[in-house]
Each structure stands twice: as C-alpha cells, then as structure tokens.
C-alpha cells in the first residue's frame, strides 16, 4: 500500500510538472501572438510614390522641368499634389538637401495682387507660418511669386521672383496611410 502511494505521488508530481510546463508554453505563445497582432493592427504603413522623397507626413518631388509658376502648380495638381508649403526650418533643411544649388525652385507662396499679402497655396496662414526669406526680401511688389534659391554668401532662402519666369519647382503631397 505504501509503495502504491509513493508511486502515485511520483506520477502526480510528473504530471503536474508537465502541466506547468505546457501551461507556461501556451501562455507565452498567447502573449507573443497578442503582441504581434496588436503591433500589426496599430502599425500605420506610410507610402510615397516611388520617385518622391519622404519627410514627416509629406512626400516631395523635385521637378526637373522649368515652367512658369501657374504651370508648375498645375503640374503638381495633376499628380495629386501642390507646390510645396514650407512649415518649418527642419522641413526646409530636408528639402534643400535634395536641391541643386545652381537652380531656383518655385514655392507654393504668392502675392498675386502685389500688395504684400503673401498666401500659401494650401491656405496655410502666412502670418502663423515660418518665414525664411533672404535678407531684404521680398523687395519688389511686381515679383509676386516666391522661390527658394541658394546664394553663396547667404545659403538657402526665399526670394520674390516674377511668376512668368521659367524655374524648377517642388511638389508636395500628404503621405498615403494604409
């Protein structure tokens, strides 16, 4: 009888060990699976068209074509974008890394009435937004469009220019989230 109880005790002990081991494994697998599923569900996949550059919540295309300001904006709109609206110095610093220092690029900023009332193409309030004009710019009311240009003595900055001059441009669109 004593031997039978000892034998049963060992069997129960072995069975309990196996149950504990399998329970631990099942709990671990469930926890890992839960973490994986939650991370997949919460993950936002951000996409830009293949030739566009990604920064923040936007995608940017540096145009290799030279056009007037209005035509540059139409070209951007045809791609689901608009001429770039620069909202921060960090955004400008990213953009200028993509630019050729010997070219000038239209921005989505204009004063089409020539009265000093500059407007961003997407209606971002000009007064509340960053302004990175070169020193003493804008300086001529007939120059009603803005460009970003590199001046060797000052680096990158904005300049008022004639809208009907041919320049490169920068298009911007919001990223697509999947």
Higher pLDDT, 5 or 123: 123
CATH code of the domain covering residue 123: 3.10.100.10
Which pLDDT does position 94 carry in this prediction?
Answer: 98
Same-domain check for residues 32 and 60: no
Task: Look up tokens 């939650």; give the residue.
Answer: 38
pLDDT tens track for 23-33: 655 564 654 44
- Residue 35: which pLDDT band, with cuts at 50, 70 and 90? very low
Contact 63, 82 (CB under 8 A): no
> Is the same domain home to 102 and 172?
yes
pTM of the shown model = 0.74
Q: Do residue 37 and residue 56 come from a single domain? A: no
User: Which residue, of 28, 43, 58, is where some domain finishes?
Assistant: 43
Same domain? 165 vs 129: yes
Tokens representing 159 are: 């300049």
Would you tell me how many other CB atoms lie within 10 Å of the CB of residue 170? 26
- Tokens 């997949």 sit at which residue? 40
Is the pLDDT at 136 greater than 70? The verdict is: yes
Are residue 51 and residue 102 in the same domain, yes or no? yes
pLDDT band of 57, cuts 50, 70, 90: very high
Q: Above 70 in pLDDT, residue 125? A: yes
Residue 102 burial (10 A CB sphere; 0-12, 13-18, 19+):
exposed
Are residues 93 and 169 both part of a single domain?
yes
Instruction: Check whether residue 2 and residue 81 sit in a common domain.
Output: no
Q: Say if residue 86 is in the same domain as residue 145.
A: yes
8 vs 116, residue with greater confidence? 116
Once rounded to an integer, what is the mean pLDDT over residues 85-106?
97
**Long-range pairs for 6-15 at CB < 8 Å and ≥24 separation?**
none
Q: Structurally, how many domains does the chain consist of?
A: 2
Whether residues 96 and 146 share a domain: the answer is: yes
- Nearest-5° Cα angle at 51, 49 to 53: 85
- Provide the token pair at 48: 């830009």
127 vs 5: which has the higher pLDDT: 127
Q: Is the pLDDT assigned to residue 166 strictly greater than 60?
A: yes
Structure tokens given for 55: 């920064």
Average pLDDT of the chain?
A: 85
Enclosing domain of residue 35: 1-43
Examine the domain organization and report whether 50 and 39 are in the same domain.
Answer: no
- Answer yes or no: do 52 and 8 share one domain: no
Residues 38 and 123 in one domain: no
């Amino acid at each position: 009888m004593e031997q039978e109880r000892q034998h049963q005790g060992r069997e129960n002990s072995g069975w309990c060990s196996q149950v504990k081991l399998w329970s631990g494994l099942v709990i671990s697998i469930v926890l890992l699976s839960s973490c994986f599923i939650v991370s997949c569900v919460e993950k936002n996949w951000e996409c830009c068209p293949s030739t566009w550059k990604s920064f923040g919540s936007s995608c940017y295309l540096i145009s290799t074509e030279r056009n007037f300001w209005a035509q540059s904006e139409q070209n951007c709109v045809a791609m689901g974008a608009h001429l770039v609206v620069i909202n921060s110095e960090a955004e400008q610093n990213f953009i200028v890394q993509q630019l050729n220092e010997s070219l000038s690029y239209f921005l989505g900023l204009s004063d089409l009435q020539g009265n000093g009332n500059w407007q961003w193409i997407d209606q971002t309030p000009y007064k509340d937004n960053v302004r990175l004009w070169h020193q003493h710019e804008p300086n001529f009311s007939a120059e009603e469009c803005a460009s970003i240009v590199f001046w060797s003595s000052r680096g990158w900055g904005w300049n008022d220019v004639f809208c009907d001059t041919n320049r490169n441009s920068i298009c911007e669109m919001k990223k697509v989230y999947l």
